[in-house]
Amino acid sequence: MEYQYTDEPRPEILRMIPPDGHVIGSVGCGWAATEWVLAKQGRTLHGVDVSAEAIAVASTRLATARVVDPATSSYFPDESLDGLILADVLEHIPQAWTALANLAKAVKPGGWVVISVPNMQSLGVCVQLGLLGDWPEKEIGLFDKTHIQMTTRRRLLRWCDGAGIELVRWFDKYDHPPRGRAMEIADKITLGLFHDWLAYQWQGVFRKRQPLSTAKS
């Protein structure tokens, strides 16, 4: 099979999903294993992906699932969603800052956006590029050969600000054990001082800004 990602729910994404919001979109839903968990809770899930193979499975799990053109970023009608899941997709998109602004239009004011991107400021990247002077092409992970964006905490926050969504909360995500456990311990010992280098991914919940009232007092 050509689709390289696993058909398993992602607990680290599910932990970020707010309790509010019934109609939810997911960009890059894949097999929709994570989204299926939410659908079985009674929520209405709409997924899109570039893989026909993955969508063939996702369409049996979600309210709607369809293949989309990766060159576009208007997948859902404006203000049609209570929530939007962008789990490790922005790093694959040209001019991701523009794409995020377009995607955020589908979320109602006050609605949420869950985002996960790789931390390209992490120690693993610094060692690989700074010390070894190389950038490997791997199937998955930080050096996924399909990544075209260098995503960092500050860059993501800038993109989100431009898209009209504001950070509610970060969620810690370290590398897989045992390396990830060592990173987590080091982060706690140093009281988060080096968190930008120790985090494996940036994962957070954002809310779409409410429009400013134009009513005169």
In 3-state terms, what secondary structure has residue 193? Answer: coil
Asked if omega into 109 is within 30° of 0 (cis), the reply is: no
Q: By the 8 A CB rule, do 87 and 26 touch? A: yes
pLDDT, tens only, 105-154: 999 999 999 999 999 999 999 999 989 999 999 988 899 998 999 999 99
pLDDT, tens only, 53-99: 999 999 999 999 999 988 888 899 999 999 999 999 999 999 999 99
First CA to last CA distance, the chain: 62
pLDDT (mean) for 155-177: 97
* Cut 0.85: pTM above it: yes
Comparing C-alpha atoms, which of 180, 173, 171 is closest to residue 124? 180
Cα 1 to Cα 51, 52, 54, 83, distances in angstroms: 11, 11, 10, 31
CA distance 192 to 178: 19
**What are the domain boundaries of the chain?**
11-118+146-174+201-208
Name the band, by pLDDT with cuts 50, 70 and 90, for residue 215.
Answer: very low
Comparing C-alpha atoms, which of 78, 72, 49 is closest to residue 61? 49
CA distance 26 to 112: 12
pLDDT of residue 116: 98
CA distance 184 to 17: 23
CATH level 3 topology of 11-118+146-174+201-208: Rossmann fold (3.40.50)
